Chains A and B, each alone.
Chain A
Amino acid sequence: MVHQLLLVSTIPHSSYVQTISTLKALTGQLAPQEISLYTMLTKPHHVFKPKFEPGKVNQIEQYYMKCVTTWEPSKKATKMDIAEPVFPTDEIVVDKLFTNGYKNVWTLQIADIPIAGKNQVVSARTIFESTLVHHHTSVDGKDSMLQFLDDLGYDVINQYWVNGVQFFYGDVVIEILKLFIRDDEKEGIKLKPLDSSNSFQIRCYRNIPKSTDIEMISQGTKELLKLQEHLKNLFQLEVPDRMCMDSRVQNPV
């Protein structure tokens, strides 16, 4: 379980070089760390509706679950460089992740809705995570990972690929990334950017091991605010909308 404090922003493609240079100077990190993550979004396939009983906890929610692992652009394709803009004619191809005998480390993640409140200076939410090492095999023509999720009671509803870079500023992680979604099926899996404006998404977050550690949380909040102040001329870090981060499953009543 981690408690995550988060601020978000976005920059157009043209500010990329300036932003990277500034962050290099700010963090002293000459080579930012690359991130390429693949996420499967899953949703529980059974509606869980406990009988309403007075005196018991009745607010029971079901949540979407993310299954995250790393990915690489297909070896055939040229190396992907996020500093380059992506045009509709460009082909980004990834290899199939689920091939027989392939070992993947998956992170299963369920996130609570961020804390409510009017004067929130940063978004704060609790994330529950578990790690799973999976050897992919084929079960009745179906991938074993999908079978596993099925057995767990989840359906895959969507997927996305993330590519970007990471900086570390003290305990704060600054990510500059692009999201890709599946384009259509050909040989391999073709991707296209989710946001065709070629803009980058920025996420600055700090993870705190315990949501009860008030001191750490307020310190982390201060760190993020300091960063927000530092970078305000480069990009404006904002508190994301809480409702947009609601990963509860809306069950029909």
Chain B
Amino acid sequence: MTLTLPDAAAALTTRNPPNVDFSQIPISTLENIRNRLNQVHLTLRKLLDSVNIYNKLPNKGRQYMVIQNQLQVLITQFHSLAAQLDSNSELLRDTNVYPLPAFPTSQQEGLLTTLLRKKPLPEVDEWIESALTEKEDKSNDVQTDDLFAQWCMMKIQELKDEFQFYGFHTVQELERMETPEGKEELRKKKEEELQEQELERKISSNGKQAMHPNKVLKFMCSGQL
């Protein structure tokens, strides 16, 4: 189909443009994708830095928040990148790339092979694979987790329905209160309370209020109440 050049190679070739037709190259699309990739790259590096800092100083409280924020940004960027790639998928799939004759093939062999590479690197393949399998396992976990949570909620509701809450005593306590010993205990408790109140009353000379500090101060200053 049409010929397209990655921009690095393009820079090398523009010095000597041998009547090349650029009009069919989807420059704007490619540029867009390149920008997005750049952003992702930057964010990934930042995230890596934060993770490193966090590992060194795990007690720096807010670091966790920073990492989460950056991850959020990264996810958004991945989203827009994926959308961009998706909308241009046809174009990207059908485009063949090859260098122009002016490209210094022998000197820049490494660069050229990198630029022309269409398949992912073996290690990239590996982690894509592992990520996919992991995702399957995890999604199972999430589902079982959700189910378990639902079951727990249901059980709690069931247990709650078996009880009725009135007052501040348990059934055992209420039953004990009904027995003669329980009644005796209750009576004693009340008596104790009364005694305490009585003592309190005696201490404060029949529940007298405290003399107001102002009155006391007046006495202290002028000897009169």
Assembly CA distance A197 to B205 (angstroms)? 5
Chain B nearest CB from A247 CB (Å) reads 4
- Interface size bracket, B side: 20 to 34
A34 at the interface (CB under 8 A from B): no
With beta carbons under 8 angstroms apart, the residue of A66, A87, A88, A199 that contacts B211 is A199
B121 within 8 A of A: no
B142–chain A nearest beta-carbon distance, Å: 48
CA distance A85 to B217 in the complex (A): 22
Interface-lining segment among B10-18, B70-78, B148-156, B196-204 = B196-204
User: Once the chains are docked, how many angstroms separate the CA of A87 from the CA of B203?
Assistant: 7
The closest CB in chain B to the CB of A249 belongs to B222
Question: Chain B contact residues: over half helix, strand or loop, or mixed?
Answer: helix
Which of chain B's residues have a CB closer than 8 A to the CB of A200?
210
> 20 more A-B contacts (CB under 8 A) besides A158-B223, A246-B222?
A10-B213, A13-B204, A14-B203, A64-B221, A85-B203, A160-B219, A179-B219, A195-B210, A196-B208, A197-B205, A197-B208, A198-B204, A198-B205, A199-B210, A200-B210, A201-B213, A241-B214, A241-B217, A244-B215, A247-B222
Complex: chain B residue closest to A246, CB-CB: B221
- Which residue from A197, A203, A240, A241 sits with its C-beta under 8 Å from B210? A197
Q: Which residues of B contact A10 (CB under 8 A)?
A: 210-213
A240–B223 contact, CB under 8 A?
no
In the bound assembly, the distance between CA atoms of A13 and B211 in angstroms comes to 12
Whether A8 is near chain B, meaning CB under 8 Å from some CB there, is yes
CB distance from A234 to the nearest CB of B (A): 14
Tell me if B209 counts as interface (CB < 8 A to partner A). Answer: yes
Q: Tell me whether A30 is interfacial, beta carbon within 8 Å.
A: no
Out of A13, A111, A238, name the residue touching B221 (CB < 8 Å): A111
- B159: interface (CB < 8 Å): no
How far, in whole Å, are A64 and B223 apart by their CA atoms in the complex?
A: 9
Counting CB contacts under 8 A, is B171 at the interface?
no
Pick the 3 closest A-B CB pairs, nearest first: A158-B223, A199-B210, A197-B208
